Amino acid sequence: MEPFHRYLSQLLIAHPQIFRLIVGYSGGLDSHVLLHGLAMHRPYWLTQKLEAIYVDHGLQTASAAWGEHCAEVCCDLNMPFRVLKIDARPVPGESPEAAARRARYTALAAELGPDSALLTAHHRDDQAETLLLQLLRGTGPHGLAAMPAVSRLGQGWLLRPFLEVDRAELLAYARTHDLQWIEDASNTDTDFDRNYLRHRVLPLLRERWPAANRTLSRSARLCAETAAWLDEEAAADLARVATEHPDRLAVPALRELGAVRQRNLLRYWLRRLHLPIPDARQLQQILYDTLTASADRNPCIRWPGAEVRRYRNALYAMPPLKPHDARRTLVWRSAGDRWPPLDLPGIGRLELRKAVGEGLRAEMLQSGSLLVAFRQGGERFRPVGRVHGQELKKLLQEAGIPPWDRERLPLVYGVKEGVIAHPLLAVVGLGIAADFAAESGEMGWLVIANHGFQT
């Protein structure tokens, strides 16, 4: 295990900002060896704080008992230990394995600060399996790069110090030190793709090519180099087609690129937005439907976890929009001299903040209540700076607000004794009604939404 210590030391020297090491401890062989190796060689990590976390997915009846086993092991090793309980139920179209992985890493990422790193026990066998799985899925260089030794996770880092170690070495270490680990019966179920490769395919490959793990790992590293070069090219292209909004691209500039560069750029852009990458068919559909559409069309291409839309000369990428009932209304009440934030389910949150010379005049809030509604059609509005009122629909079009956002923009009305007492006071993202706006030097209230609009 000496190479492991040298390798992890090299990773930490390259990242001197890491002072907290969190072991992702499942109780299985691999993570037990990682935990034990760290605990038995504490002098290597004198400047780092060590701890372990067990993630309870709640998917198996034995998961709580496994957590108790992990707690006992950590107690014996004098290792701080915690349990994270998560909801790993899959969303429609998502496999149970993918759902568990997504929920696990989301929960662990939330535990990491800029000075923290999660350590996982993925080894060279895991790397070989990942490469083969990605190859069978028809993925490109980024997928074939498999698992990097170092990557970002949340605000912190994810380190895999065992990637150059075979599982056989971990097993030998565990037996030498008489470690007791958990055997998860699901790991032998060959109905799962990874288990099928592990138990049926890779043993045959190693019979013929004993160094298969090593050579597959080398291929992953070479693919990682190619992926890094492609990212550099995509970053240069993104600079050409970017807008002031990270989630939008300029369609005319995107059209100037060749098809290969367009696909490479879109994958890179979506990864930067932390959105799932579409498959080759969906990617081609994005390029064809959105780039060839006329400016008055608003095509939308969806895949699990994301969607891309076209509006005018911009391409938008976003998570799927949550269901929204534009017919609902919400009463926003003050609490004494302050206004608590108002949650808008599926949209975000509204806040009122004091200001001078801008926002709503203070007298418009004296009743202690406001009504928040959504566009029904036929509303008229005169924002600050306009001489005449106009249909809200036309104002939203002039402001370039995309159609899918228009029905979600909160409209703020004054309320007195439970009924609407004033015309439309404010449209979030568009402005304050000129007749009710605070004048220079006068106390006012800004209406602020956490999705980026300010009124």
What integer pLDDT is reported at residue 421 of this predicted model? 61
Residue with tokens 């028809």: 138
R_g of the chain, CA atoms, integer Å = 28
Say what angle helices 212-241 and 259-272 make with each other, to 10 degrees.
100
Q: Is 248 helix (H, G, I), strand (E, B) or coil?
A: strand
Cα angle vertex 188, ends 109, 279, to 5°? 55
What integer pLDDT is reported at residue 366 of this predicted model? 86
**Identity of the residue numbered 227:** A
Return all residues near 165 (Cβ < 8 A) that are at least 6 apart. 3, 4, 123, 124
Q: How far apart are CA 286 and CA 259, in angstroms?
A: 12
What integer pLDDT is reported at residue 97 of this predicted model? 78
9 within 8 A of 44, measured Cβ to Cβ: yes
36 within 8 A of 177, measured Cβ to Cβ: yes
Residue with tokens 């180099």: 225
Q: Is 383 helix (H, G, I), strand (E, B) or coil?
A: strand
- Measure CA 433 to chain center: 37
Q: Report residue 28 as tokens.
A: 């299985």
Top-tier CATH class for 242-318: mainly alpha
Between the CA of residue 118 and those of 18, 268, 332, 412, 413, what are the distances in Å?
10, 25, 42, 45, 49
Q: Is 394 helix (H, G, I), strand (E, B) or coil?
A: helix
Q: How far apart are CA 83 and CA 106, in angstroms?
A: 15
Nearest to 375 by CA among 408, 403, 420, 419: 408
Percentage above 70 pLDDT, the chain: 96
Nearest to 268 by CA among 294, 292, 299, 240: 240
User: CB atoms < 10 A from the CB of 227, how many?
Assistant: 19
Between the CA of residue 49 and those of 30, 38, 45, what are the distances in Å?
21, 11, 8
User: CB atoms < 10 A from the CB of 263, how many?
Assistant: 18
Task: Specify the fold of 2-221.
Answer: Rossmann fold (3.40.50)
What integer pLDDT is reported at residue 44 of this predicted model? 81
User: CB atoms < 10 A from the CB of 128, how many?
Assistant: 26
**Identity of the residue numbered 272:** R
**Identity of the residue numbered 436:** F
Residue with tokens 């008489």: 178
What integer pLDDT is reported at residue 453 of this predicted model? 47
Where would I find the H helices in 381-454? 392-398, 403-406
Task: For the chain, give the mean pLDDT.
Answer: 90
Q: Tell me how far apart the terminal alpha carbons of the chain are, to the nearest angstrom.
A: 60
pLDDT tens-digit series, residues 185-200: 888 889 889 999 999 9
Q: How far apart are CA 184 and CA 453, in angstroms?
A: 49
Q: How far apart are CA 30 and CA 44, in angstroms?
A: 20
DSSP single-letter state for residue 218: H
Q: Is 56 helix (H, G, I), strand (E, B) or coil?
A: strand
User: CB atoms < 10 A from the CB of 4, how many?
Assistant: 21
User: For the chain, what are the domain ranges?
Assistant: 2-221, 242-318, 330-449
Cross-strand bridge partners of residue 158 = 118, 151
What is the residue-level pLDDT of the chain in tens, covering all 455 positions? 666 778 888 888 888 999 999 999 999 999 999 999 999 988 888 789 999 999 998 878 888 999 999 999 999 999 999 999 988 877 766 777 778 888 899 999 999 999 999 999 999 999 999 999 999 988 899 999 999 999 999 999 999 999 999 999 999 999 999 999 999 888 888 988 999 999 999 999 999 999 999 999 999 999 999 999 999 999 999 999 999 999 999 999 999 999 999 999 999 999 999 899 998 899 999 999 988 888 778 899 999 889 999 999 999 999 998 888 989 989 999 988 889 999 998 888 999 999 999 999 998 888 888 999 999 988 999 999 898 989 999 999 999 999 999 989 999 998 766 566 668 999 998 999 999 999 998 999 999 987 644 44
